[in-house]
Each structure stands twice: as structure tokens, then as C-alpha cells.
Amino acid sequence: SATAQQYDCKSANGGWSCTTQDSQTVRPPRPEPSQPISTSTAKTDASQAKGSAPTAPAAPQSVSSNRGKGLASRSADFSHLDWVPREELSEAQLAEVGPYCSGAYIEPIRPGMNDTSSFSDSPLYVNAGVSRYEQKTETATLAGDVIIRQASLQAEADEANLYQQDNLGELKGNVRIRDRNALLVGDRAELQLDSGAAKVENAEYVMHAGNSRGSAQYVRRQEDAIIRLKDGTYTSCSPGSNAWHLRGNNVTLNPNTGFGSATNVTLRVKDIPVFYTPYIHFPIDDRRQSGFLPPSISYSNDNGLDLTTPYYFNLAPNFDATLYPNYMSNRGLLTEGEFRYLSKSSESRIGGAWLSDDEDERKLQSEYKKDRWMYMLQHEQGFNQRLLGSIDYTAISDPYYFQDLNSNIIAGSNETLDQKANLTWRGNSYSAQLGVHAYEMANISDVTPYDKLPQFSLAGALPYQPAGLQMSYNTEWTRFDRSLKKGNYYDEDGKTEPWRDVSLKGLSRANGDRMHIEPAVSLPMNWSWGFIKPEVKYAYTRYDLNLDSTGKEYLRDNKTKFNSSPDRSIGIYSVDSGLYFDRETQWSGTNYRQTLEPRLFYLYVPNEDQTDLPLFDTSEMQFSYASLFRDNRFSGHDRIGDANQVSLGLTSRWLDDSGFERQRISFGQAYYFSDRKVLLSGTDYKKVAANTSSRSPYASEYMFQFNHEWRVNADLMWDPDTHRTRSGSAMFHYQSQQDLNKIVNFGYRYRNDTLHLNDDGIWVTGSTDYVDKNDNDRVYKDFYKIEQTDASFMWPVMPQWSVIGRWQFDYNRNSTLEAFGGFEYDSCCWKLRLINRYWVDYDERNMSPLDNRTGDHGVFLQIVLKGLGGVTGNKVETFLDEGIQGYRERENNAY
């Protein structure tokens, strides 16, 4: 055919003489076999691959009549928009395409597409089937697959007139103007040959990198490549779909910044307007996304109708901000915002929220505030490699803030808030730290915690080791301070009861300084077949205490002398040793190395009376396999447990060829040669069975992971003296690596050895009954026991549809803690989640833990319009993330 040849035209005597010449270019084929061109035509020009001019051009359909879809009259398979169906995409291209997209916009390779030279400096390339030049008007008339190319810009049309005087090109019929990552298709266009400015009529456009398209009666391409649409549309839906699109007055697409904006925008679903906004800012490529984040709508008993429409500001590559306007019909508008900043040596996050709360159910309660606010600051700073600084500070208007209100910027249960700052110097063999750490209570029923204001610590080891001796040190100086609440708490009904702090008696009301010095010498001997490590530690602790009159009185009444500067010095002697045995084994066709690791730990710590020492940062840790090999059964430095015991443990591992631990089982027990006399609180160790028995519970741990996809963890502490289980758990987690959408979690937890503070201010281990004074002294059996199951899943049931669910049940209280179920529909350009949820809210109305449980019920709807922003923040996100382990990984890899 004629188009198989190109014409080589040379100007001669005022006219052009044209001779045919073979196309000299061979271009990589583009994956567009929908065009009936056999791959054998190697000498194909790009102009042909676009499809030849229609033989009988029908009257062009107007883009305003397409109801948000691509113009099928231009090509039924939308190849005119560079659309390539899924089946024809290469492996690499497929990887970039969302799972439910029927294809993608693939920019064809063309000469000059990577040309970055300036427009005016680049030569003009013109090619056409036939051409004529009118000397008098300086007009060139071109017809038949016209190609005009300059720098990275390429224009194609059926016909063209080039007006040389005005440097203007007029293009007619099947016009397509391409720039890098952009395609404009239209019926007629004017192109400024010296600047690249263009105006296309009845136009459709595609931004390949952003997977987006749209249309407008007129599209202007400015010299600076910015595209402006008059009454244009924008969508990330495939050309054949009008699931949603935006329609705005002035739409601007700026490929230089990666953003688009529009004014007077309606969001249309199937061309029906559903939402209006005067202005919108959105991303047009896969650079940092900006614009509206997915809105969330929910209805719950507490807040009523609840609507959040987050908006993300991409301010610079290293800082951004997000605004979360959250309207609750029962409360009002909660405005929350966050600002993040990143530099080479620092990272910061600043956030805040404010609400004038219309809900006044807490009006009679102590510490009620009508104006609710929250602010937080997180900052990490590396001054240099060795000196690090960090701040983590959150403050709230009232202790009920997180019970009543959701936060998009602070995750977690937030029962107490950290207010801390640290300065750390990291030497080669030591580290020094200066820190302040205060807590703000986000509840009213807990005892006020001690603040560390400040704490200085220095820990390390001597760099030289004479005769293999390792010498280390651990020093700490801390000022512990808290102001205990006095008097009465007013509950929801205005009734009073004493604050929890009032139950604290004697020394537990003390504030003061504590200095702790702990040098240690050890002689570790390691061989490939085992190790032995004798160690001697010396711990010296000195206090400087203040005690209020209430505390002093209590001590006087109990005939105890108050010592304002007690001290304690104790030697800690231990020998840790172990052997490693190996064997090669096979198990269902795989080679394993099975190990057998017996371990023996002897510990001797003399008894020292520590009843005159307060409890600043010390708690007794629950018994576990790991605690067999610790030299102190208490955390913190206020108690050092006396011991004369030997612990035996045996671990066996199955390692595969890559060293991956597939299975591990551990079993052990400690044998005591004397009673443990040091208690957390109270004085009579003989009443505590765990402190007088001659052996510990059996401790066992089990872990099995087939691969990175699924794992089982279990442990069991069983007491042979009482023939009862102390604690036990079994957890199962599965998440497919191929399809992160497939998640199953199951967990069972049992614990009968929790610590709690009884009404007399004494720490009690194990479960006891609870007497509810607010409810006619009703008795709740085994109140402090934990026995719960938690099952959650996400699973694709058919293409595009996934089911989501969780059920957490408390056997001890015989009630459901949380249950939700719903589904997710995912398509190429939008996603929807609808979830029905029941949960037990922690909502403090008085001091009784049981009265503060409230069942709440909500229906949550989340809609994500892909291409208008990322999926972050949000209420649905929060409970899915907290409820389903693996959800975060899934979302981080979602399209």
C-alpha cells in the first residue's frame, strides 16, 4: 500500500518533488496485536501501527456524549487511548497492573520520546503520504498519515496545514498529540510549532503513569506541558467503565509536579452526580499521592452518624500534612491534623485535634471538659552517629478523650500516654542516656504511675578482658515522682467514691531518688559444642525518700519505722552452662539438622530484707520458660529476689538447609533449695505457695513454622503441686505470600497468674474474686483470670470479593469482646468495604471495671476511589489493623 512507503520530498523550483523511499526505521513492536498487523511486517512505521485512516469517516461522536466512558466510536477496543488488554501485557507490565484491571495504558516506544532538549532548539521532523507547498502563502499542505515531531512531542493526523508565517500547524482527522507520559486524541487541533502549545478539540486524554484518562470539548497543552481542560473529566477507571469520574470546570493536569486540580467538581457514579466540592487536588501519576483520602462513614450508638473525609497535602518531598475533619452527629466536628517532616538526620510528627463536644453525658464526672483537645509531638534526631535525641509527647484535655473519640494519628489502646524525651550517647563499649519520662493517664481507674524526672544511666563493659574476664557495669540514677490524687471521684451520676490512689498506703506513697550501681564480672567460655559462664554481680542501691503525712501515719500505726535513706547491697552469683548436640535427620523428604540443647543455670542470691524499699519501677514477672534463666524474678531495681536454685532446660530445634528454624520445642523446670522470702509487697512469704514450693511449674514452649507463611506458637506452664495450669497459649497465623489477601489467625490464651493491686494496696498474684461495691457487693468469681479466644480472617471468596471477620470471646466473663463481619469489593478503579461490628467499649462512668464495659454496635462503610489518594488513616483501617494480624502487610502491598 501507499502507506508502506515514505516520501522523500525535496524542494525544487517552488514545488516539492517527492520520491518514494523505504521506511528506514525499525521500531520495537508495541504490544498491540489487536490491530490486524502481522508481526512479519518488520518495516512498520509507527504511523501505521496506529491504524490507518478510516476509509469512510463517520461524523465524529462528541466526548460530551460518552457519559464518562472512552469514545468507542474512535476504536471499539480503545486502542486509540493506548489501552492494551490484560491478555496482551508482558510479564513486567502485568506486575504493575492491579489484579482486577482488564488492561493498562501502555505508552508505545517512539523516536524522540526520551528527548529532553528544548523545543526551540530541536529540528522539526515532518512526514506525510503526500504534500504540497504553496510558496505564496508559505503554507505546506500534508495528507496521509501525517507525522510532525519536535523534541519529545509528536503529532499525528490524517491531514495537516503548516502555516509557516505564523509557525502554526492545523491538524485534522484522527489527531493524536503525544508527549512523554501523555496522549491527547481529538478531531481537530492547532499546534504552535515554535513552542509546542496545542489546542485539541473534542479531546480525550491519557496520562499513562497515573493510569488515568478523561475528556473535554477543548484541551489545551501549554508550552510547559501543563494540560488544561475546559469542562473536563478525570477518572482512573478503564476506558469501557464509568464506575466513577470527576467532572470539573477548570481541570489542570501538571506532569511536572504530578498533580491535578479542578474547580466546581462533581463526583459522578455512572454519570450521576453524587458529591460536590468547589476545589480538588489529586495525583496524576505514581509519585507521592496527594488529595482526598478514602472517606469513611459509620453509624454507632455512641457517636451517631460519623463521617470522616481526610485530606492529604503533599507539601514537599520531605514534608506533608493530613487533615481529618470528622463529623459526629452526637458530638460535633472533630478537627484533627498531622504534619510530618523528614530530614537527613531527623524525623518529626506533630499532630493535634480539637472538638467542642455537644455530648455532655460526662457532665457530672470529675475532670469533665466540654472542649476536647489532643496534641502530640514525636521527634527523632541524630546529632551525629553517636548522639541521638528523641521526644515522644502526647497530651489530652481529659482522661476520657481516647474512650470517647477516635484518633487517626495515634493508634493503639492508649490507656496511658507517654511524655518522654531522651538523649543517648553511644560509645563503642558503653552507652549513656539522659531521659525524662512522664505518663499522662487516659483513664481514671488506675493508680497514678511514677514519672522518671529525670533518669541518668550509664551501662557498658570494659574494653579489655584480662584472662578472659569480662567486666561490665550498669549504673542508674533516677528521680521518681508522682502526685497522688486526693479526695473523691464524682461518677456519672454525681455519686462519689475515693480515687484509686487513696487506697495506697505507707511506703507506696513515697517519692524519691534512687541510685543503683551494678558492676559484674563474668568468665564466659564458649566452644562450638557448649558454653559455661560463671558470673558475679554486686548490686548496690541507695534511696532518698520523701513520704507524705498519710504514708507516715500508716507506718506509725503499723509500728514500722520510716527510713528516709535506706540502702541495699547484694551479691548475685550464677553459673550458666549448656551443651549443643546435633544430628542430621530427614522428615517428609527434607533434610533437617536437629539440635538438642540442654541448659543448666545455677543461681544464688542471699536474702536481704527489702520491706523498707518502695516500688518505683518494679513488678514481679509472670513465670515462663525464659524466667528459668533470669537472675532476678523482678523487673526494675527495687527488688532483688533471693534465690538458691538450679534451673534445667532442654531445647530441641529442627533447622532446614537454609538455617530456617522450622520447629522448636523447649521444656524446663527450676528446683529451689530454699524458700523465696523477698516479696513485691506484704511481709509473710509463707502464705504464698509459689514462694515455698521446692520446684517451679513445668515450663514449655513450642513453635512450628512451615515457612514464612504460617506459624504456630504455643506455651504451657503447668504447676505439678496444684495440678493446675498457670498460663498457656496457642496462636496460629497464616498469610499467603502469593496472595496477601488470604489471612487466617486463631489464638487461645489462658492466664491464672496475673498481678493486681487489691483494695488494701497489696499486690496479689493469681486470680481472686471481685466484689462489686457499686452493685450490692455482687461477687464475680475468678475476676482476674484470662481465658479468651480470638479468631480472624480475610479471604477471597470469588474474584473481586473478599470476606472479612473477627470474633473475640472471653470465656471467663462468657461474653463477646468484639465481633465483626463484612465484605470487600475490589475493582480496577474503586474499592468498597461494608462491615458490621459489635464491640465492647471501655467507657469509664465510675471506678468499677464492670460498669465501664459497654457494648457498642456500628455499621462502617469505606469507599476508596483509586487514583484519588492512598489508603491511610481511617476508622475502618484502625479496627481492621488492630483486629487482624496481617492486615497491614496486605494493605501496604495493595494496588
Partner 1 sequence: CGFHLRGTGSTQMALTELNFAARDALSPLSKDVKQSLINNKVAISSSAPFTLYLGLEEDSRRTASFTAGTRSAEYTLTTALNYELRSGNLPALIQDSVAVQRSYAYNQNNVTGSGQEEALLRQEMRRELVMQLMMRLQAITPTQLDSLKSQAERKERAAAEAREAEIRAQQFEEPQQSPILIP
Asked if 799 contacts 783 with a C-beta cutoff of 8 angstroms, the reply is no
Q: How far is the CB of 626 from partner 1 (least distance, A)?
A: 6
Q: How far is the CB of 427 from partner 1 (least distance, A)?
A: 9
d(CA 181, CA 137): 36
Q: How far is the CB of 6 from partner 1 (least distance, A)?
A: 6
For residue 128, give the nearest of 115, 147, 155 by alpha carbon: 147
Q: How far is the CB of 375 from partner 1 (least distance, A)?
A: 21
CA 615, 616, 622, 625 torsion-angle sign: negative
Q: Kindly write down the DSSP assignment for every residue of 820-878, as one continuous string.
A: EEEEEEE-SSEEEEEEEEEEEEE--SSS-TTTTEEEEEEEEEEEEETTS----S-HHHH
| 3-state SS string for 614-679 | CCCCCEECCCCCHHHHCCCCEECCCCCCCEEEEEEEEEEEEECCCCCEEEEEEEEEEEECCCCCCC
SS3 state of residue 509: helix
Shorter beta-carbon distance to partner 1: residue 34 or 474: 474
Asked if 647 contacts 669 with a C-beta cutoff of 8 angstroms, the reply is yes
Characterize the bridge pairing of strands 634-635 and 643-655. Answer: unpaired
Shorter beta-carbon distance to partner 1: residue 585 or 590: 585
Burial 356-370 (b: 16+ CB within 10 A, else e): ebebeebeebbebee
For residue 352, give the nearest of 372, 329, 368 by alpha carbon: 372
Shorter beta-carbon distance to partner 1: residue 215 or 403: 403
- Cα angle for residues 665, 671, 673 (degrees, 5° grid): 165
Shorter beta-carbon distance to partner 1: residue 65 or 738: 738
Q: How far is the CB of 840 from partner 1 (least distance, A)?
A: 5
Q: Tell the residue number behind the cell numbers 499525528, with chain if given.
A: 156
Shorter beta-carbon distance to partner 1: residue 247 or 568: 568
Show the cell assigned to 500. Answer: 484509686
> Could you give the C-alpha distances from 637 to 476, 633, 640, 664, 793, in angstroms and in order?
10, 11, 7, 33, 42
Shorter beta-carbon distance to partner 1: residue 584 or 777: 584
Shorter beta-carbon distance to partner 1: residue 277 or 624: 624
Shorter beta-carbon distance to partner 1: residue 187 or 715: 715
Q: How far is the CB of 695 from partner 1 (least distance, A)?
A: 22
Shorter beta-carbon distance to partner 1: residue 15 or 57: 15
Shorter beta-carbon distance to partner 1: residue 279 or 581: 581
Q: How far is the CB of 350 from partner 1 (least distance, A)?
A: 22
Q: How far is the CB of 41 from partner 1 (least distance, A)?
A: 16
Q: Tell the residue number behind the cell numbers 547484694, with chain if given.
A: 570
Q: How far is the CB of 780 from partner 1 (least distance, A)?
A: 7
Q: How far is the CB of 666 from partner 1 (least distance, A)?
A: 12
Q: How far is the CB of 287 from partner 1 (least distance, A)?
A: 23
SS3 state of residue 273: strand
Show the cell assigned to 385. Answer: 552517629
Show the cell assigned to 305. Answer: 452518624
d(CA 830, CA 243): 8
Asked if 256 contacts 288 with a C-beta cutoff of 8 angstroms, the reply is no
d(CA 888, CA 98): 18
- Cα angle for residues 434, 438, 440 (degrees, 5° grid): 160
Amino acid identity for residue 553 in this structure? E
Asked if 141 contacts 148 with a C-beta cutoff of 8 angstroms, the reply is no
Shorter beta-carbon distance to partner 1: residue 240 or 636: 636
Q: How far is the CB of 788 from partner 1 (least distance, A)?
A: 5
State the CB neighbour count (10 A cutoff) for residue 553: 13
Shorter beta-carbon distance to partner 1: residue 3 or 729: 729
CA–chain centroid gap for 741, Å, is 16
Q: How far is the CB of 175 from partner 1 (least distance, A)?
A: 18
d(CA 276, CA 474): 63
Q: How far is the CB of 199 from partner 1 (least distance, A)?
A: 22
d(CA 804, CA 801): 10
> Could you give the C-alpha distances from 156 to 152, 175, 534, 746, 830, in angstroms and in order?
13, 6, 84, 60, 34
Q: How far is the CB of 403 from partner 1 (least distance, A)?
A: 11
Shorter beta-carbon distance to partner 1: residue 159 or 187: 159
Shorter beta-carbon distance to partner 1: residue 673 or 706: 706
Q: How far is the CB of 279 from partner 1 (least distance, A)?
A: 38
Q: Kindly write down the DSSP assignment for every residue of 402-446, as one continuous string.
A: HHH---SSS-S--SEEEEEEEEEEE-SSEEEEEEEEEEEES-SSS
Shorter beta-carbon distance to partner 1: residue 124 or 803: 124
End-to-end CA, the chain: 45
Characterize the bridge pairing of strands 416-426 and 387-396. Answer: antiparallel
Shorter beta-carbon distance to partner 1: residue 204 or 818: 818
Shorter beta-carbon distance to partner 1: residue 238 or 812: 812
Name the β-bridge partners of 130.
143
Q: How far is the CB of 691 from partner 1 (least distance, A)?
A: 19
